[in-house]
Amino acid sequence: MAEADPPGPPQDEAGKVQDAQDSDSETESGAASGETEMDFLRNLFSRTLGLGSGKREKLLDELSLEGVTKFIQSDQCQNIICMVGAGISTSAGIPDFRSPTTGLYANLEKYNLPYPEAIFEISYFKKHPEPFFALARELYPGQFKPTVCHYFIRLLKDKGLLLRCYTQNIDTLERVAGLEPEDLVEAHGTFYTSHCVSSHCRKEYDLGWMKDKIFSEATPKCEKCQSLVKPDIVFFGETLPARFFSCMQSDFQKVDLLIIMGTSLQVQPFASLVSKAPLATPRLLINKEKTGQRDPFLGLMGMGGGMDFDSDKAYRDVAWLGDCDKGCLALADLLGWKKELEALVKKEHAAIDAQAGAGLHPLGATGKSAQTDREPTKAEKGQQPQ
């Protein structure tokens, strides 16, 4: 996946132009008054970017899961964005990438790679595709069931609260759980479609075609030009889908609450999304460890859009540490949704088992999961344009 520097810190819309004008008039006076160079730069950046170094008023009644619950239940919370990574799929049996002993990168010795990440590098793939397709047989979509975490996101959708789910995952479990393509930004691509890698061809292939090739242990080759065919997942060295950037521009102007789950926030530009949330937007992290925290140096300058859970200036960020499924259950319990969530998981898993017994893929032929009865979402009522 293409590495890029995260964009600059978010800005307050209100007063942004005035602050920038003020900074021009204060530049000379600040320098003349004998400020140190660091103080001068810090104040200049803070004023220009609308990021004052003073302590802000808390956005939640308390910086806890209870505080987030009250916010979700209030009229202030209409549009929730979820950012998710491999940690929401581990309870389904899919390994994450970076756990020291159980992660994917720690268990790739059998593929004789020069280094673990090579299996997802486009240049290595074009020369040596076999390791990737061998791994794909082990982790192929359709062999796993969505987790409690996936269905919690589905519940947010059913209740008309989900603006979008941004996922780093390529396992398609968000789709299996009932999210529609318009609900998703699959930042690192998807297995659902595949394309010939030749720029002169680019013939598209569907999920069934790719599955047949992978499980016959044949390296997928284009029927038109005999070049390699690759699932539409984003490898290191490739750009992210255009949808990632177009949705990001509009979605993060509307977001009321950002929920981040199961991601190390180490891969850019996905990780930089946390800094896109406006300063008046609370952010909840559900993860085994704290991630995405601001750079200490930028913090000293009053800058940086990273998470701040522990400083005396923390005002909007909450961390719930532990298993993602347990975190979603805890939040659902506080919201009064726990029984509904557990019933949804049970019902959907039974439906997937029935499909498997009939020899059907959980995504069927359309890439959409069978939907259970539910209330219309805000988008379907015309209140939340996509």
97 is in an annotated binding site: yes
Instruction: Kindly write down the DSSP assignment for every residue of 265-278, as one continuous string.
Output: --STTGGGGGGGS-
Is residue 313 annotated as involved in ligand binding? no
Supply 268's token pair: 């850019």
| 372 labeled part of a ligand binding site | no
Q: How far apart are CA 154 and CA 347, in angstroms?
A: 13
Helix axes 324-335, 338-357, angle to 10 degrees: 130
DSSP string, 287-300: ESS---BPPHHHHH
Helix (H) or strand (E) holding 233: strand 229-233
C-alpha–C-alpha distance, residues 290 and 179, integer Å: 27
- Tell whether residue 90 is among the known ligand binding residues: yes
CA-wise closest residue to 320 among 96, 58, 64, 77: 64
Q: Is 260 annotated as a binding residue?
A: no
Secondary structure class of 220 (helix, strand, coil): coil
CA-CA distance, 270 to 187, in Å (whole number)?
Answer: 7
Flag whether 171 is marked binding. yes
Cα–Cα dist 260/306, whole Å: 12
Is 225 annotated in a binding site? The answer is yes
Whether 247 has a binding-site annotation, put simply, is no
Binding residue per annotation — 73? no
SS3 label, residue 86: helix
Identify the three-state secondary structure at position 337: coil
Q: Is 201 annotated as a binding residue?
A: yes
Inter-helix orientation angle 148-158/324-335, to 10°:
40
Q: For residue 32, what are its two tokens?
A: 């003349």
Instruction: Tell me: is residue 123 an annotated ligand-binding position.
Output: no
Q: Does residue 222 have a known ligand-binding role?
A: yes
3-state helix vs strand vs coil in the chain, percent to 5: 40, 15, 45
Write out the two tokens for 286. Answer: 């559900």
Alpha-carbon Rg for the chain, nearest whole angstrom, is: 23
Has 328 been labeled as part of a binding site? no
| φ and ψ at residue 241, rounded to 5 degrees | -60, 145
Residue 149 assigned to a binding site: no
Q: Rounded CA gap, 103 and 188, in Å? A: 18
The two tokens of residue 50 are 């609308």
Q: Does the annotation list 132 as a binding residue?
A: no
Tell me if 153 is assigned to a ligand binding site.
Answer: no
- Both tokens of residue 239? 């750009």
CB 132 within 8 A of CB 120: yes
Q: Which residues are catalytic?
A: 188
Q: Which residues are annotated as a binding site?
A: 86-90, 96-98, 168-171, 196, 201, 222, 225, 263-264, 287-289, 324
Q: Which residues are annotated as a binding site for NAD(+)?
A: 86-90, 96-98, 168-171, 263-264, 287-289, 324
Q: Which residues are annotated as a binding site for Zn(2+)?
A: 196, 201, 222, 225
